[in-house]
Structure 1
Amino acid sequence: MIDRNQKLEDLLSDKIRLILIRINQTVQPQEEKRLTQELERLCEQYYLLRKTIKNSQEALSSSR
């Protein structure tokens, strides 16, 4: 479960990085808005995943 979460975290982190690079390049205002929205969505998923990982680790620690 932790390995799967780590892979998801890495994937989201990579996507966030790529979107930031694309936003920083010259883009049209519409494209910038779409990319910014996608970035916000990915950041939210990333935050929730980090929270899930933390909770999972705490649950594993307390069950030992």
Structure 2
Amino acid sequence: MIKAELKAAEYRVRALHALALAEDATLDRVRELQRHSAATWTQMAEAEEARARDTRRAGPSQGD
């Protein structure tokens, strides 16, 4: 597994955690912030996954 894939997996876990916090939040503003956080972590995970795909396509000389 390359570094980008590890980061993507970590970001996915963080997104799930933020979603769980949003579900438990009693204040609307806190719920909104946690959902925004989850969306940001998800976007970061998607970017890392794309980076990992690009690295694999480029070959071993370009890998991290």
TM-score range relative to shorter protein: 0.7 to 0.9
Aligned to 2:58: 59
SS of 2:59's equivalent in the other structure is helix
Percent identity of equivalent pairs:
7
Superposed structure 1 runs of 4+ greater than 2 Å apart: none
Aligned length: 61
Paired residue type of 2:9: D
Aligned to 2:21: 22
Query: What are structure 1's unaligned runs of at least 5 residues?
Result: none
Paired residue type of 1:58: R
Query: What are structure 2's unaligned runs of at least 5 residues?
Result: none
- Normalised by the length of structure 1, the TM-score is 0.78
SS of 1:48's equivalent in the other structure is helix
Deviation at residue 16 of structure 1 after TM alignment: 0.9
Equivalent positions of 1:1-64 (< 5 A) are 2=2, 4-60=3-59
